[in-house]
Amino acid sequence: MARSRKRKKKGKVVKMQKRQATSPEKYIRTKGRTLPIETCWITENWREVGMTDILVVRRHPQGKRTIGIYLVDLYCLGVKDTFFYFSINDFEYEELLKKVNVSEDHQLVEIDYDTVHNIIYGAIEFAEEYEFSPHKDFIKTNQYLLEDAEADIPFIDISFGHDGKPFIIGSPNYSIDHIIRHLDRVAGPDGYHYLDRIDNFEDFGDLDEEFIDEEEMEKTKALLNFMADVVDEIYEEKIGEEPEYNVEDFLPENLQIVFDGNEEEEEETKYWNEITDLVQAKQFEKVESRIKTTLEEKPSDKHYIVLCRAYLAQEKYEEYEATISSAREQFPYSFELSLIGKKENFYKAKREEKEIPEIDVKTWLQDFNEVDDEDFMEMSAFLITYFNEKKEVQKAIAFYTALMEIDPDHPFKLPLLLQIADTQKAILDEKGLVKMEEWTPIFKDRMKVEDDDGEEYHDFEEVED
């Protein structure tokens, strides 16, 4: 039978060096506050809406970023939800900002950290007056991507609640009954404001109807995971026996995955911070000038990598080709340069609608003795896309499994899972086994569960994430 993602046996992914891997959560708790804050983002109309997304971006010495994201209710509940993206590259950062800027009414603007600090901790303090605690992940991990609550940060006067009282808003998809009962107990019937429906707010100014709700967000994730699992089960049932793979099948025996590689020297940090600022501002000509000057004095593969990415971002493909060729001659054992080359060859073929070049993973990796964990994860994400394009689902699943074993909370966890499901659906459609238009009734049928009274529902708490 075709091997299912869920039933795949877990084992050793690759040979590791003896250094013990540090989980992203542990790294954030122990080192998060030592990373410099690059910038912060906030929903533009946060003062009017009273509900906001906040991003705190901290930068690693190598140039990658770890980002804390906080859903803050200034009216009542404090930090409603929070999560993080760990050590993501420039491309992943750009994609994240695009995803968060979901509409004209939900745009992010940059903001100074002092204001962010006062908003988040002020909202928590206001909520705690009414016995509402911040989200459990804030307490466990994400508070360490902020400065300490008692840090020497200038006080900024920010209003919380409405007219000094908690203000809670309901919607057709969000019941506030349990919050009302809680506020009745701790504040008294006259100690708070509330609206049953979010479209009845003429007395409270210009509120935004479309803010993210933690419960709805989790339901959406559960639904998408459920749909992917349904596709996977039907694919296994319809396709039958397929070759099975483990990621070790693709890796040379001498290859080691290195966790917690050495950070750069302190004096390098300022230089790379300036380069990253220029990249973020899309001032690529200045990036090119700075990098080229440095390459004349002290060539390194990292400088070539940034230069190649700058050329690709501007679609300067001729300059990229010349630069990557020169870089590979000077640094033939730079895995990241090799990875950039493989990825660009793939996307170039797609741009030009040509046949996708074959990648023999084991042959490719034989030139390298070690790869750091971040590059290995970037490679795995790329190979999942590559094997999906080739419609080699089991190979894509092998690298997806390896990626999840290294980082179960990888920022592309769900998109990559859905990509695999889309490939499975395309194969089933091509073989005439399940047509695309059949999936909606299939999903609806699989959702049906009868309770004791014969009513149909679906409890997504039972769906594996």
Q: What mean pLDDT do residues 89-103 have?
A: 82
Q: Which residues contact 435 (CB under 8 A, 6 or more apart)?
A: 429
pLDDT digits (tens, 9 = 90+) for 230-246: 999 999 999 988 888 99
pLDDT-derived band of residue 315, with 50, 70 and 90 as boundaries? Answer: confident
Q: What is the pLDDT of residue 196?
A: 54
Q: Which residues pair with 409 in a beta bridge?
A: none
315: helix, strand or coil? coil
Q: Nearest CA to 130 among 73, 202, 52?
A: 73
Distance between CA atoms of 184 and 196, rounded to whole angstroms?
15
Q: Which residues contact 290 (CB under 8 A, 6 or more apart)?
A: 274, 275, 278
Handedness of CA 241, 245, 249, 251 (dihedral sign): positive
Handedness of CA 143, 149, 151, 155 (dihedral sign): positive
For domain 220-440, the CATH architecture is Alpha Horseshoe (1.25)
Q: Kind and range of the H or E element at 388?
A: helix 373-389
Q: Nearest CA to 303 among 314, 315, 295?
A: 295
Q: What mean pLDDT do residues 411-423 have?
A: 90
Burial of 81: CB neighbours in 10 Å, binned 0-12, 13-18, 19+: buried
Given a contact cutoff of 8 angstroms between Cβ atoms, the answer to whether 149 and 121 are in contact is yes
Residue 37 has pLDDT above 90, yes or no: yes
Give the sheet arrangement for strand 51-59, strand by strand.
78-88, 65-73, 51-59, 37-43, 108-111
Q: What is the pLDDT of residue 312?
A: 84
Distance between CA atoms of 6 and 233, rounded to whole angstroms?
10
Q: What is the secondary structure of 397-456 as a DSSP string? A: HHHHHHHHHH-TT-TTHHHHHHHHHHHHHHHHHHTTSS-GGGHHHHHHHHH-EE-TTS-E
Distance between CA atoms of 222 and 71, rounded to whole angstroms?
19
Q: Nearest CA to 64 among 309, 251, 400?
A: 309
66: helix, strand or coil? strand
* Range list of β-strands (E), 51-135: 51-59, 65-73, 78-88, 108-111
Q: Which residues pair with 37 in a beta bridge?
A: 58
Residue 391 has pLDDT above 90, yes or no: yes
64: helix, strand or coil? coil
pLDDT digits (tens, 9 = 90+) for 339-387: 999 999 988 888 888 898 999 999 999 988 888 888 899 999 999 999 9
Residues of the chain with CATH 1.25.40: 220-440
Q: Of the given ranges (142-151, 154-163, 407-416, 440-449), which has the lowest mean pLDDT?
A: 440-449
pLDDT digits (tens, 9 = 90+) for 129-169: 999 999 989 999 999 999 999 999 999 999 999 888 998 87
Q: What is the secondary structure of 322-372 as a DSSP string? A: HHHHHHHHH-TT-HHHHHHHHHHHHHHHHHTT-PPPP--HHHHHTT-SEEE
Tokens of 151: 């840090």
Q: Nearest CA to 43 among 211, 289, 228?
A: 211
pTM of the predicted structure, to 2 decimals: 0.56
63: helix, strand or coil? coil
Q: Give the pairing of strands 167-169 and 193-195.
A: parallel
> Could you give the percent of the chain with pLDDT greater than 70?
81
pLDDT digits (tens, 9 = 90+) for 255-269: 888 775 545 455 566
Q: Nearest CA to 45 among 279, 240, 205, 207?
A: 207
